[in-house]
Structure 1
């Protein structure tokens, strides 16, 4: 019913998928209808005296011409009434109250696991030391570009948070290491940002119940379904041992799990966080989309179908079936399902998966650490080669300088020796002239030099 149904009359008081479907069928077949709710609020179950309750009883008592409701088709009901072609296939689902979300002042750390955070700290130290060591081994030609311990740490941290610094590596080895670090930082920052957005927009909580079978392995959460419903018949008549055990538990008076109708079941869910209500998946999913305080748990099971119930042998059953088939072919039923089950104002939530973290672990981002390690190894190899090349070039320059100095020293010695010989020649001529004069004029005491 609509929220303001008290102020409305007739068919205007009701809304929902079944009402829209009935309206489409009535327009296609050209008939008028009047809707009312069965007095006992039940779908229909066979009583011990052979009579039927709920919707089935209204059909058998000729109180209604048809029943358009979430009425499951089964063999027992088919023995007393007829059904149209199925208009929706569904399963049995479970709904619980949402646990309280886990919030923290340090929720920004959740996108990465503690192991990854520790590895990032190790990367900061290792890469900083590598920059510093390569600067000592193979420094840049520009003396103003030096990567000491402080500058190396600052450059590494700035690169990891996708920022910049005034000084950048100038050597080949430094640029190789910086490129590896930048690629590593790009992947880590992108993964962190995407995961952080998911953590901040999706409510996170944990629960020990993630499927219907988990209800058997605990005693804290009670559960139940609607009495005399098809879901109750499924558990009561199931041949599976686990479902038989569940029926024994939920049907006992002390469990208090059974509800008279779906509305009462949802009220029990709202009142008790340790109660699970099992019912038709479409009904539960509609409740989840309209009530943000509850959550569908697990996947639907035991596929079944809804159909329109009519008196046995009714001539208009085939017309209803043809109308349902045509509406399905035209896509109108899919549009109605999208209207009532796909539109929700509730924020997205993650399914309650116990003992599992959504943080990025080393198994998911280990590849970028390997790439960074390869980059460090390549840059170290380039640094060693650069150091060897620089050392060899210095030796060659030193050898050439020594040869040049030796050559210059030899030329100077030869020039000095030639000068001495040139300076000694006048003395020789003087001595020769003196000797000649002495021989020619033995008595002469003076020698004239011209």
Structure 2
């Protein structure tokens, strides 16, 4: 019953045993234990096996473990005063955004990027039309200055704070350039502010509830306990049934031991389902501060108050309930809960150094490489065309000289 010994194993059961040992001292009785490997499920004959079956058949007076009330157990056992908060949860690490190729795109959603692209293209077209008007109808301007590529370079340079080569003396062009400059400045301010703030504080998780978790690409694992196996296979809870059918039965998920599940959570995009204090005990010892700060937890079911099973119409039921109420009023139960039920480790100020990896800048690298390759291809084509034209000119000269 030492909390430091295997402190992530059978926490609720050991806590209940401590309570009953305290009751044994209060009422001066001894506990004769029988060890069972399961809480108990309904068999084909309508009877329970496991701990519920032992109590149902009168072989035991009460169970030294927490017990969840459900309709299948009401006819088999009675229930004591609530002693434990049962809260199973999914835990996973919030996927990293900084350090990925998406980091430069995350400050704005896709609709904002599309709007910026549309406005940029519109301004390029408008600038070309204005220059074309002055060139064709007023005879001012340079024909080489009104190309699509030239106008694109000017507008993209203005939006990206690179300025423009010269300031036109034509008022409509000046208004377009000044408006574009202000537009680019405001967009850049918001973009840089969002980018910096995303580095200073963690972004909210994109998965906020169980339905989003099911629809995500994240793999799901469940603690390998008989109770969880039976529950997910037979439950009528819609979300729990959907988790089992989509993620466990036909997906890449499965049932894992507590240590295996925690390791998968740390090392991959993986969500693991187990009882809260069992998870917290292992996480407090194996998770780094950065992992704890990225931790996300989601409830599948509403937390319920667990009790202890007692034999039907047992004379000990009233004594046990009065004893538990006395332990709660005197603070003994709260003290034991604080000792056995570990809280979620606190996220300290994140001191981990953020690093820029190659994949972070893959978008600008891709743009640069594609631009260079395109320019080289165009250059090679122009060289081939020039050589062909030169050969034609030389051939024409020889023909003229022969004539």
TM-score by length of 1: 0.44
Larger radius of gyration: 1
